[in-house]
Amino acid sequence: MRTRFAFTALAGALALAATASQAQTQAPLKVGFMLPATGTFAALGDMIEKGFKLHVEEQGGKLGGRTLQYFKVDDESDPSKATDNVNKLIKRDQVDVIVGTVHSGVALAMARAAKDSKTLLIVPNAGADAITGPQCAPNIFRSSFSNWQPGYATGVIAAQKGYKRAMTITWNYAAGAETVKGFTEAFEKGGGKVTKDLNLPFPNVEFQALLTEIAAQKPDVVFAFFAGGGAVKFVKDYDAAGLRRTIPLMGSGFLTDGTLEAQGASAQGLITALHYGDNIETPRNNAFRNKFAVTYKANPDVYAMQGYDAAQMLAAGLKAVNGDDKKRDALIAAMKKAQIDSPRGKFTLSAQHNPTQDFYVREVKGNYNVVTGVAVKALADPGRGCKM
Ligand code: PHB
């Protein structure tokens, strides 16, 4: 009995040692970041990269026993350069996995290239509905949201507040249009009516004429999708035009996330919906926020959290194959079924690889988006049009 135990233990130890040495002899996994380093979304790209690297560092610099080598491309949030840019990572650098990006239009081009080349892609922000809809693929995952989700959640709370007539305002591109569509669906289901959609080209910030139109029409509420530098300017201009106290401004939470220090008084009291908030009082979120603050001397935001979770999703896949990403089917199967212990709360992926997650109601207090309730629990993107 004792001998048999000793033998089994020895065999187990040898197997473990073999796995460990296999991971050691593997070349580093090539990770390509395609993120904005310039333009209105530059700060968002920076936060995503910091979040991703924080998780890797917490794992001792390795995921699934595999070291990582990073490659980087600044996509400038410019869809016209997206195919060339993503091919720098796929063809020139021959990366094993791409992490990117922020802008939906750029991400759509990336998803096409990833699908064609079968390169593993984890989208750490861009919400383009098609990525987990008609353009879905076994090798494409998202750690963030679909544009429909935060729009829908904000529509639910706007209707609950009893507003009847809404105007919407956003940039004229996939993220703006799809977020507004989600908002309209929930708001009108809840008894409201969207009376007018206002648009301007991305990334313009000349809001004056549109604010004048809002002031003239006097809706019960305005719904806005802006993010990054554009969100800072919009919230300040809305306040400066004297609208904040007369016509309530709501938005998907990007309107006030990572932006509050720059928005200052103009953002106080704004109510938004998002899959993250600053004061989620769980040990998981507190640990994440403390570690991030100590490492980077800054508070994390939703983008940092999504980058962190992109690394967690990749880790779940790599752990299942001991770092051997050539065992592609097993890696993908593990990513698909992972339950991610996220700072936002635990989440799983839909069949189309988009997070099914709670959307919180948040109110701006000082420099924080304070969670005051849940808008929709376990909201799943419908994943319309995905076949895989
Ligand atoms: C997008 O283009 O999908 C996008 C950009 C910034 C955000 C959210 C979505 O904060």
- pLDDT, tens only, 58-104: 999 999 999 999 999 999 999 999 999 999 999 999 999 999 999 99
Confidence of residue 331 (pLDDT cuts 50, 70, 90): very high
The pLDDT score that the predictor gives to residue 19 is 52
359: closest CA among 147, 174, 46? 147
Does the Cβ of 103 fall within 6 Å of ligand 1?
yes
The pLDDT score that the predictor gives to residue 25 is 73
How much distance in Å is there from the Cα of 225 to the middle of ligand 1? 9
Is residue 309 over pLDDT 70? Answer: yes
The pLDDT score that the predictor gives to residue 205 is 98
Model pTM score: 0.94
Confidence of residue 231 (pLDDT cuts 50, 70, 90): very high
Does the Cβ of 254 fall within 6 Å of ligand 1?
yes
From the number of C-beta atoms within 10 Å of its C-beta (0-12, 13-18, 19+), residue 365 rates as middle
| Residue 100 near residue 128 (C-beta atoms within 8 A) | no
Q: Which ligand 1 atom is nearest residue 257's CA? A: 10
Residue type, 227: A
Does the Cβ of 79 fall within 6 Å of ligand 1?
no
Strand partners, 349: 355
Q: Which ligand 1 atom is nearest residue 302's CA? A: 10
Is residue 42 over pLDDT 80? Answer: yes
The residue whose CA has the least distance to atom 5 of ligand 1 is: 103
| Residue 198 near residue 214 (C-beta atoms within 8 A) | yes
Residue type, 326: K
pLDDT in tens, 339-371: 999 999 999 999 999 999 999 999 999 999 999
Is residue 318 over pLDDT 70? Answer: yes
The pLDDT score that the predictor gives to residue 263 is 98
The pLDDT score that the predictor gives to residue 3 is 46
Q: Which ligand 1 atom is nearest residue 303's CA? A: 10
Q: What is the mean pLDDT of residues 300-308?
A: 98
What gap in Å lies between CA 329 and CA 215, rounded to an integer? 55
**Percentages (nearest 5) of helix, strand, coil residues in the chain:** 45, 20, 30
The pLDDT score that the predictor gives to residue 5 is 46
φ, ψ dihedrals at 237, nearest 5°: -65, -40
Instruction: Write out 164-213 in H/E/C secondary structure.
Output: CEEEEEEECCHHHHHHHHHHHHHHHHCCCEEEEEEEECCCCCCCHHHHHH
Does the Cβ of 126 fall within 6 Å of ligand 1?
yes
Maximal C-alpha separation, the chain = 88
CB neighbours of residue 16 within 10 Å:
10
Q: Angle at CA 282, nearest 5°, toward 276 and 283? A: 125
How far the first Cα of the chain sits from its last, in Å, is 50
The residue whose CA has the least distance to atom 7 of ligand 1 is: 227
Does the Cβ of 127 fall within 6 Å of ligand 1?
yes
pLDDT in tens, 148-174: 999 999 999 999 999 999 999 999 999
How much distance in Å is there from the Cα of 350 to the middle of ligand 1? 20
Helix axes 208-217, 228-240, angle to 10 degrees: 50
The pLDDT score that the predictor gives to residue 233 is 98
Residue 191: C-alpha distances to residues 101, 153, 163, 164 (Å):
35, 15, 9, 7
How much distance in Å is there from the Cα of 24 to the middle of ligand 1? 38
The pLDDT score that the predictor gives to residue 1 is 40
Q: What is the mean pLDDT of residues 197-214?
A: 98
How much distance in Å is there from the Cα of 303 to the middle of ligand 1? 10
Q: Which residues have C-beta within 8 Å of that of residue 54, sequence separation ≥ 6?
A: 288, 291, 292, 295, 296, 304, 308, 311
| Residue 175 near residue 260 (C-beta atoms within 8 A) | no
| Residue 24 near residue 88 (C-beta atoms within 8 A) | no
- What domains can you pick out in the chain, each with its CATH number? 23-145+280-353 (3.40.50.2300), 149-274 (3.40.50.2300)
CA 273 to chain centre: 14
What gap in Å lies between CA 348 and CA 355, rounded to an integer? 6
Work out the mean pLDDT of the chain and round it to a whole number.
Answer: 95
Does the Cβ of 52 fall within 6 Å of ligand 1?
no
